Structure formats: C-alpha cells, structure tokens
Structure 1
Amino acid sequence: MGATGFTPTSTGQTASFSQQSQGQFKSPHAIRGCVVVELKPCLVVTTHLGLERVAASRIKEEFGVEAEPMPGGFQGLIIVYCQGFDVDLLTKELSSRVVEAERVLPIYRAVKADLEEICEAVRSLAPQVLGESESFAVRTERRGHHSFTSIDVNVKAGACVQSVRGNPVDLENPDKIFWVEVLGDTAYVSVTPGSVVFRKSYDRKPNVLVHLRKIVIGQVPYLADAEASYKVGVRIGRAVQSFEVKELVITPYTPVDARPLAGFIRGVLEGIDSRYSIQTRSYSRKVHRVPVNLFDLYQLVRDYRERNIPIIATSTKGRYVGEVKRDVRRIFENSDKVLVLIGSREGLPTGVLRFSDLVIDVLPGVTLATDVAAPSILTAIAGVLAEESND
C-alpha cells in the first residue's frame, strides 16, 4: 500500500504545524519552491511517556520526514507525515531503526471518528489484507471525548470485517490485527500481522507454574542482627511469592535468638504481601498467595520421609543440576509435592543431605548469597522442567 520505493519525491521538505487544540489537527505543509503541498499522515507511532520528542527527533533524522510529537496534546503518540514513501517499507525500516518506538502502525485509512465511517474503512480494507482463512482481531485505542467506547469500535469494526467474507475472530492469536487509533475527531485505521505483538504465551510455550505449585521451600532462616535479618527476609518473601510456590517453611535447626528470627519472619511476610499486592493488580488470572509456616528442619525432613514425599537438598556439595535433570524430572512427574531445602550462611547439615532423595548444585563454583539462593534454585529447577515440557 503506497508508492513504491523508499525515497521521498522531493528533498528538503520544510514543514510547519498550525496551532492545535486537543483533538483538532491540521496537517503540516511542505514548501517546495513556490508550491505549498499538504503532507498526509502516514504512520502512527507510540512510545513511552516522556520520550515523544526524542523519538520524533530520531525519526526526522533517520528518514527526513515530519514527525509530530504529542499531536493534539495526546501523550505517548507521534504522527509521521510524508509523501512519496512506500508506507509499508517505511513502517518496517522505522521499526528496525528507531528503538524508542513501541508500536509503528501504517495508516491505510484516515476517517472521521464515527462508527459507520470506521466500519466502511475496515470493510474496504478487509479484501486487500485478509486471506480467506485468516483470523483477525480489532484493537482500538481511543483518545479524547466520544459518544462511543473502544469496545463499541471493536464490536462494530469486527462485524464489518466479518461481513466481507466471514473470517474467524481470534482475540488471542490472530493472523492479522486491525488497529483503530481514534485521536479526537479523526480515526486512523491500520492492519498488521498478529506477530507484531509480543505475547506472554503461545502454542507449545511451557507453563512452569504447574511444577512450581508442587514445591515446598524449606528455608533455613538468615540470622544476623534484627535489621539485616529483616532485609534478607523481605527479599526471600518477594522471591517465593514471585514464583508462587506451594508453601514456604522457615526451618531453624538449632536453638536461636528470638529477636533476629522475629525480624526475618517479619521481613518474609512483608515481602510476600508486597509482591502479592502487585500480582493481584497486574495479573488477569488468580494469584496463589504463598503460606508460611515454622518447623524444625530435622522434624520436617523426618515427617516428609515418613510420608514418602521426595526431598531435594541444595548444596555446593551436590551434583550439578544439569547432570541429574532426568532425576529431577522423574521426581516431579511422580509427585504432587516436593520439598526443596535451602540453607543459610553455613549451608544445610550433612545429616539432612544424607536423608534427601537428591542433592543438587545449581551453579557450580559459586556460593549463592542467602537472599538470592531461592530465586536462583527455583529458576534452575523450572528451566529443567520447562525443557522437558517442550521436548
């Protein structure tokens, strides 16, 4: 779509922008000799807030086109104006050369911000961009005040696309995405491959949560002064909640001073609460809140042995996890619960290693600090299990 060749029809374009109020736009004009040519919007570029002018400047330097940051006062947006460019090629080149650009959308239609006009725009585009069996989705970003919502646009535009040849809608993994960027009184319509959107999940991408939810962490507490114990506890709490393990058991194994132990426990609980509150706001799925218990390490090991629940101990004296990954996989395949023991400062007692089903070292040659041990060990185990899931 657009003229062929990635070269402007004229060099030395000088553009001027008219005064704008929010939602009202006037295209810039290029002065070519004595002729004033109105430049047309050809791209909508989104960027992080505060980087609009930086990104616009980079676009101008790289391609010699006019780029208007924050059109109509709308943050996070840049409108690129050009003439004589292959819009699709410009989109591809800009995406690969301007790192500040979050999303680059070629403008195929610019219409009044009206549901019927948007409908006609996508209806006319559909035969040109959609194969007979390709799925699609509609994504709308609306800025300004309107009598309709973004959902209204998605529903209306989706129905109009389907009316052409009945293509299936796939909101999760579409072959093509119709983008409707509504800026004040104008709606810009674009179409891109669905692959331009980075997704958290896709077919055959392993989900390690099912394995992590089997893990009970037995963590020997970090005991120094109360404040240091508290800080390490916060980091461990945030880590185990990030992985959403089945349970955390704090496991002293000798008589300890109550004050630093109390600081450690307080830090763990606060770390879990802090991370959990972020997860519940950010995730669309239900979040598992990690329960915390206190149990003597030796009694915990004895209890799990008697109930035939597998125990994996972690130690610099263990086998490299990459060498025993089949054993790790076998344990998780055959068990609903797995106890993973993590030491602190002096490591785990030798008797505990002897009573474990497997002793692993996740990073040979490196002694992990207590506050990073849990996330490092969980990452290593999850990596082994994810590799197996994807085989």
Structure 2
Amino acid sequence: MVVELRPCLVVTTHLGLERVAASRIKEELGVEAEPLPGGFQGLVLVYCQGFDVDLLAKELSSRIVEAERVLPIYRAVKADLEEICEAVRSIAPQVLGESESFAVRTERRGHHNFTSIDVNVKAGACVQSVRGNPVDLENPDKIFWVEVLGDTAYVSVTPGSVVFRKSYDRKPNVLVHLRKIVIGQVPYLADIEASYKVGVRIGRAVQSFEVKELVITPYTPVDARPLASFIRGVLEGIDSRYSIQTRSYSRKVHRVPVNLFDLYQLVRDYRERNIPIIATSTKGRYVGEVKRDVRRIFEDNDKVLVLIGSREGLPTGVLRFSDLVIDVLPGVTLATDVAAPSILTAIAGVLAEENND
C-alpha cells in the first residue's frame, strides 16, 4: 500500500534559493521537499507522513539556514473564505490561551476573487468568535498564517516572536536625538577626485543618520577647486541616499540641509547662543567615560553642534571652546570618510542606553 505524502510545512526562502533549500532539507532531514510549488517563487513545500509537524518545523529552523520562515501546516483547505474561516475557528481553541492576543497574516499567490486583506479580516473575525481574544497587529502572542497557493490555502499558527521586528516596547529610538545634531565637518581637501569621493561618502553617511544639518567648515584660506569638488560630492551623496530612503521608508524622511561657514565663526556663533558644542578628537575623553555628560547635553538642549576634523584634526582653540571633547575609538585615528558615521554611531549608542542604566 502506497502512503500518500501530504504537505506538512511551508518554507519561504530568498528568490533563487528555492532549489538549494529543498536540496538541503532532503539531505539534512530525510523528507521530501518541492521547490517552486506551482511555479511560485520563494517557496518550498515539505512533504511528510507520521512526523510531529511542530518538532519538524523546529528542527528545520535550527538546521537549514536558507529557510526564512518555517510554517507547520495545521490545515489545508480550499482557497475559499468560508473554508479558511472554519479552519482557523477549529484551530483556535487548541493554540490560543484565553488572554492571548493574535494577528492574521496572509500571503496570496495566484488569482482569486478575494484579497489578502479580505482573508485577514474574515479569519480574524472567525478566531475572535471562539473566545473573543484580542487582536494585536504589532506584537501578537500568536500569529495565524494563511498561505494561499493557487486553489489551496495552508493554515499555520506560530508564536509572534518568530517575526523579527524593527521596534518593540522599550526599544529606544535614537532618531529623536540625531535630529538635534548639527555636524560641523572640516572639508577633506586633496586632489579633485579624492575630495569628491570622500564628500560622497560623508553625504551618504549624514543623510543615513538624518541629522539636523551639515555645516562644511573650512578654517583657513583653501583652494576653491577641491572645496567645490568636496561640496559637490557631499550634495550628491545626500541626494543618492535620500532617494533610496524615500522609496524604502514608510515614514517621512528628513533631508539634511548643507551650509558653508568658517569654523571659528561657527564656534563663536554657537557659544554666543549658548548652544552646546561637542568636539571629536583623539585628544578627548573616551565617550564611554563621559556618557552621562553626553546624555545631559542632549536631554537639556534642542540643538547640539558636533565638530569633526579632517586629516589634521580640529584646531586646539576649537577644543578649548567646546563643552565636551570626546574620543569614540581610543587608539584608532579615524579616516575622514568614516569619521562621521563612527562618531554618530558612538553617540547614538550612548544615548540609546539611557533607559537601561
């Protein structure tokens, strides 16, 4: 008698790795795996008989690095809203505690007379009809997954913790602090091409951190050509990164404005307006030793000037007129093109710890 194998796991992968993942699953776990079922990309169906699907899912997750998400199949039904509803309703009492929250996530592949949102709404209502469990779309205790592949809907349930999240309760958000920072950057002046390339990297870096403003700060008479090349690179770097951010982020992106000001005059102006100045130098205190001072400055002020040197570093007079002089990486002299992201990362790290002390 031939035992018919049925799908027991839905595995998602990066596009192009379906066959690799299926091969590794067969080799490591000794079960049948079908890459690209129905021609649908990014999927592998695992077939098994007599296995505990939860244990198999856990084993696969721990051994197959190509697997992005591993979903044990609890029900396989026709791709129909009513049948999906009955499936989740029958599963809910077995997997949901009385006070546990839940969410429904649907991935639909193929052509149907309903949308993924339709499934989420219908299935969510059907789960709630069992015990009235609360819906939590951000941090649910359990997630009901509905994977629709053509004419079939596979229903799974996992802990909400299987999804890696960008944010969660008590996770600090350093963006509010970064928006206070005005970077005073001494320009990198060498040959025209080198000045341009360093400018691009600095522009991309400050835009990535979305600081309040970038001020380019020469402090001696300089050759206009490499300065112009550096500025052009900065502007192009900001434009390039900003373009990517606006396409990728769901929130509004702050475009970093760029100004030009003599370093000494900038320092004098900020001192007169009582805006704190943090200078960065290998002669400064290790940032970890003065983290309380850094936090106090950011907590008490809406704007903070952070000065970054180039090649020869910042002039000593500027250090003397700063509220704090910090060294973010003792023993290492940072190259100009990596100084800004390294310094901003160090400051953000200190500020992110404020709720964890």
TM-score range, shorter chain: over 0.9
- The residue number in structure 1 matching 2:117 is 151
Question: Residue by residue, what CA displacement relative to the aligned partner does 1:324-376 show, whole Å, maximum 9, x if unpaired?
Answer: 11111111111110000000000001110111011100001100000000000
Q: Alignment length, in residue pairs?
A: 357
1:257 aligns with 2:223: yes
**Take 1:339 and 1:68, find their aligned partners in 2: how far apart are those partners?**
57
**Take 1:313 and 1:294, find their aligned partners in 2: how far apart are those partners?**
18
**Take 1:98 and 1:83, find their aligned partners in 2: how far apart are those partners?**
20
- The residue number in structure 2 matching 1:242 is 208
- What's the offset of the Cα at 1:195? 0.2
Counterpart secondary structure, 1:192: strand
Stretches of structure 1 lacking an aligned partner (at least 5 in a row): 1-34
For the 8 Å contact 1:206–1:390, the answer to whether it is kept is no
**Take 1:188 and 1:311, find their aligned partners in 2: how far apart are those partners?**
58
- What's the offset of the Cα at 1:277? 1.2
1:85 aligns with 2:55: no
- What's the offset of the Cα at 1:78? 0.2
Question: Residue by residue, what CA displacement relative to the aligned partner does 1:254-281 show, whole Å, maximum 9, x if unpaired?
Answer: 1111111111111111111111111111
**Take 2:232 and 2:132, find their aligned partners in 1: how far apart are those partners?**
58
Question: Residue by residue, what CA displacement relative to the aligned partner does 1:217-272 show, whole Å, maximum 9, x if unpaired?
Answer: 00000011111111111100110011111110000111111111111111111111
- The residue number in structure 1 matching 2:270 is 304
**Take 1:197 and 1:51, find their aligned partners in 2: how far apart are those partners?**
20
1:124 aligns with 2:124: no
- The residue number in structure 1 matching 2:186 is 220
Match of 2:304 among 305, 315, 338: 338
- What's the offset of the Cα at 1:389? 2.7
For the 8 Å contact 1:42–1:80, the answer to whether it is kept is yes
Give the TM-score normalised by structure 2: 0.99
Counterpart secondary structure, 1:37: coil
- What's the offset of the Cα at 1:53? 0.6
**Take 2:115 and 2:236, find their aligned partners in 1: how far apart are those partners?**
40
**Take 1:73 and 1:390, find their aligned partners in 2: how far apart are those partners?**
48
Question: Residue by residue, what CA displacement relative to the aligned partner does 1:8-36 show, whole Å, maximum 9, x if unpaired?
Answer: xxxxxxxxxxxxxxxxxxxxxxxxxxx22
Counterpart secondary structure, 1:79: strand
For the 8 Å contact 1:205–1:390, the answer to whether it is kept is no
Match of 2:319 among 331, 342, 353: 353
Question: Residue by residue, what CA displacement relative to the aligned partner does 1:305-329 show, whole Å, maximum 9, x if unpaired?
Answer: 0000000000011111111111111
Question: Residue by residue, what CA displacement relative to the aligned partner does 1:21-61 show, whole Å, maximum 9, x if unpaired?
Answer: xxxxxxxxxxxxxx222101100000001111111011001
Counterpart secondary structure, 1:178: strand
For the 8 Å contact 1:106–1:190, the answer to whether it is kept is yes
Counterpart secondary structure, 2:3: strand
For the 8 Å contact 1:249–1:292, the answer to whether it is kept is yes
- The residue number in structure 1 matching 2:135 is 169
Identity %: 96
Stretches of structure 2 lacking an aligned partner (at least 5 in a row): none
**Take 2:147 and 2:217, find their aligned partners in 1: how far apart are those partners?**
55
Counterpart secondary structure, 2:352: helix
**Take 1:36 and 1:93, find their aligned partners in 2: how far apart are those partners?**
26
Q: Over the residues paired in the alignment, what is the CA RMSD in angstroms? A: 0.7
Question: Residue by residue, what CA displacement relative to the aligned partner does 1:93-152 show, whole Å, maximum 9, x if unpaired?
Answer: 100110000000000000000111101101111111111111100000000111111111
- What's the offset of the Cα at 1:390? 2.7
Match of 2:147 among 181, 186, 194: 181
For the 8 Å contact 1:311–1:339, the answer to whether it is kept is yes
**Take 1:159 and 1:231, find their aligned partners in 2: how far apart are those partners?**
56
**Take 1:283 and 1:75, find their aligned partners in 2: how far apart are those partners?**
25
Question: Residue by residue, what CA displacement relative to the aligned partner does 1:182-235 show, whole Å, maximum 9, x if unpaired?
Answer: 000000000000000000111111111111111000000001111111111110
Give the TM-score normalised by structure 1: 0.91
**Take 1:389 and 1:210, find their aligned partners in 2: how far apart are those partners?**
14
**Take 1:348 and 1:135, find their aligned partners in 2: how far apart are those partners?**
55
Point out 4+ residue stretches in structure 1 off by more than 2 angstroms: none
Counterpart secondary structure, 2:71: strand
**Take 1:172 and 1:286, find their aligned partners in 2: how far apart are those partners?**
20
**Take 1:219 and 1:231, find their aligned partners in 2: how far apart are those partners?**
15
Counterpart secondary structure, 2:2: strand
For the 8 Å contact 1:204–1:390, the answer to whether it is kept is no
- What's the offset of the Cα at 1:285? 1.2
**Take 1:134 and 1:277, find their aligned partners in 2: how far apart are those partners?**
41
Question: Residue by residue, what CA displacement relative to the aligned partner does 1:136-189 show, whole Å, maximum 9, x if unpaired?
Answer: 000000001111111111111111111111111100000000000000000000
**Take 2:201 and 2:257, find their aligned partners in 1: how far apart are those partners?**
16
